[in-house]
Amino acid sequence: MKKMKFSRIALLLVGASFFACQSEDNNQPEAGADNGVSAEIISKLADFDVNTNNVKKVDFVLPNGDVTPMYQAEGDLHFTEDKINDLPNLQDLSERNYYTNNLVAQNTVIDIIGFTGGGGFGLSNKAQTALRWAVNNYNRLNLTIRFNLTFGTDYQSRDMVVYNNPNQNGSGGSAGFPTNGNPFKFVQIFGLEGFSTNVNEHVITHEIGHSVGFRHTDYQTRQSCGQNTNEGTAGVGANPVPGTPAGYDPTSVMIACFNANDDGEFGPNDITALRFLY
Q: What structural domains does the chain harbor?
A: 33-277 (3.40.390.10)
- Structure confidence at residue 28 (pLDDT): 33
Question: What is the total residue count of the chain?
Answer: 278
Mean pLDDT confidence for 255-259: 86
Q: pLDDT tens digits, residue range 205-245?
A: 999 998 998 877 765 566 778 766 555 544 444 556 667 76
Starting at the edge strand found earlier in the chain, the sheet holding 186-190 runs 145-152, 108-115, 160-164, 186-190, 172-174
Cβ-contact 273, 229 below 8 angstroms: no
Euclidean distance between CA atoms 35 and 29, whole angstroms: 10
Mean pLDDT confidence for 254-273: 90
Q: Is the pTM of this model over 0.85?
A: no
Euclidean distance between CA atoms 215 and 13, whole angstroms: 7
From 22-26, 183-187, 202-206, the region with the lowest mean pLDDT: 22-26
pLDDT at 197 over 90: yes
| Contact residues for 82 (Cβ-Cβ < 8 A; gap 6+) | none
Q: Where are the beta strands (DSSP E) in the chain?
A: 56-61, 67-73, 77-79, 108-115, 145-152, 160-164, 172-174, 186-190
pLDDT at 121 over 80: yes
- Among residues of the chain, what percentage have pLDDT more than 90? 42
Mean pLDDT confidence for 240-258: 78
From 81-95, 145-159, 252-266, the region with the lowest mean pLDDT: 81-95
Mean pLDDT confidence for 117-127: 98
Residue 36 — pLDDT band, cuts 50, 70, 90? confident
> How many helices and strands (H and E) does the chain possess?
6, 8
Q: pLDDT tens digits, residue range 139-195?
A: 999 999 999 999 999 999 999 999 999 999 999 999 988 888 999 999 999 999 999
Residue 75 — pLDDT band, cuts 50, 70, 90? confident
| Contact residues for 65 (Cβ-Cβ < 8 A; gap 6+) | 119, 121
pLDDT at 130 over 60: yes
Q: Taking Cα atoms as reference points, which of 14, 9, 34, 22 lies closest to residue 170?
A: 22
Mean pLDDT confidence for 38-52: 81
| Residue 158 burial (C-beta neighbours within 10 Å; 0-12, 13-18, 19+) | middle
Cβ-contact 222, 190 below 8 angstroms: no
Residue 85 — pLDDT band, cuts 50, 70, 90? confident
CA 97 to chain centre: 21
| Contact residues for 140 (Cβ-Cβ < 8 A; gap 6+) | none
Mean pLDDT confidence for 132-139: 98
